[in-house]
Amino acid sequence: MRISVMIGEVRGPADRDDLLSQATAARGLDGIWSAQALGWDALTTLVLAGGHAPGVPLGTAVVPVRQRHPLTLAGQALSIQAATGGRLTLGIGAGIGAMTGAMFGLPADRPARYLREYLQILRPLLRGEPVAHSGEFLTAMGTVDVPAPAPQVLLAALGPAMLRLAGEAADGTVTWMTGPHTLESHIVPRITAAASAAGRPAPRVVAALPVCVTADPDAARARIAERFAMAARVPEYRAALDRENAAGPQDVAVVGDEETVARALRRLAGTGVTEFVAAPLGDPAEQQRAVELLTGLAGAAGDRRSS
């Protein structure tokens, strides 16, 4: 299992210097990922990060697509590929339905059908091919002329329909707030079966969770419960939390001292996850402890893979 890190506002308020510092500290890890929330643009963040972590793979986890036409997103993604030397993995998702409607006034129904059609347009565009599509949800006519390799595309998928789509039409999935039991018994087998049935390679399964290396785990879990309270309420995450018998994000977060966190990552590695993405939380000292631990674990895992 590869070990990577999230940078940006998912870890707390972040300015440019914070992003660059987080990216620099991630040089010894297997990847740098950026989420699309309410502030920094996820793809632009990776351009900044890429210059301060040479050679480190980059990914979005994830870009909601309802408000980005596939022609627009393909142009952005290929521009990032060209700017960073082909290091991008493009994680996309339908977005949280309540936010899509309330913030953008866009429909959020039939997300799996919408994303299937979106991928039918996006993937040819990422390969530099022209599209002429007029479908149920989208119209797209044109091409994107940016000389860069097509990035792999991962789909945010938690439910059966979306996992089937991710296995059939994407390169894998990226999850958030999903615990080890759910990953092992639901996410990994469903997407793997879908990819196999479609004759596709084994999918990537990228699992992202909050991490806090701390001497006060109870306080850390209380902070996580408060900060990510919305995830305990929206249907997209509530179903995954229920599968884990978790009251909220605090129960699936990876929290504790170095040995406790290392043990939790070993458990995740046994679920079939191919990459773990940590979102370090806490005060600066706690976040530094987390990054140092993750870097050591990533180095040890890399040594095992190369031996």
165-183 per-position pLDDT tens digit: 999 999 999 999 999 999 9
Domains identified in the chain, total number = 1
Average pLDDT, the chain: 94
Round to whole Å and give the CA distance between 263 and 4: 16
Domain holding 299, by residue range, is: 2-306
Residue 186 predicted with pLDDT over 60: yes
Six-digit token string for 70: 């596939």
User: pLDDT band at 101, cuts 50/70/90?
Assistant: low
User: pLDDT band at 97, cuts 50/70/90?
Assistant: low
CATH number of the structural domain spanning residue 53? 3.20.20.30
User: pLDDT band at 306, cuts 50/70/90?
Assistant: low
Six-digit token string for 130: 């022209």
Burial 234-250 (b: 16+ CB within 10 A, else e): eebbbebbebbebebbb
Q: Mean of the pLDDT values across residues 99-106?
A: 67
Six-digit token string for 240: 């995954």
Q: What's the pLDDT at 95?
A: 78
Read off the pLDDT of residues 231-279 as tens digits, 9 standing for 90 and up: 888 888 999 999 999 999 999 999 999 999 999 999 999 999 999 999 9
Read off the pLDDT of residues 21-62 as tens digits, 9 standing for 90 and up: 999 999 999 999 999 988 899 999 999 999 999 999 999 999
Six-digit token string for 208: 């992202």
Residue for token pair 């990537």:
204
Q: What's the pLDDT at 37?
A: 82
pLDDT above 90 covers a percentage of the chain that reads: 88
Round to whole Å and give the CA distance between 94 and 114: 8
DSSP states of 102-156 as a string? Answer: HHH-----SHHHHHHHHHHHHHHHHTT--EEEE-SS-EEEE-----SPPPEEEE-
Residue for token pair 């978790």:
246
pTM to 2 decimals? 0.95
Tell me the CA distances in angstroms from 166 to 121, 173, 196, 268, one per residue in order: 15, 6, 12, 20
Read off the pLDDT of residues 130-151 as tens digits, 9 standing for 90 and up: 999 999 999 999 999 999 999 9
Residue 307 predicted with pLDDT over 60: no
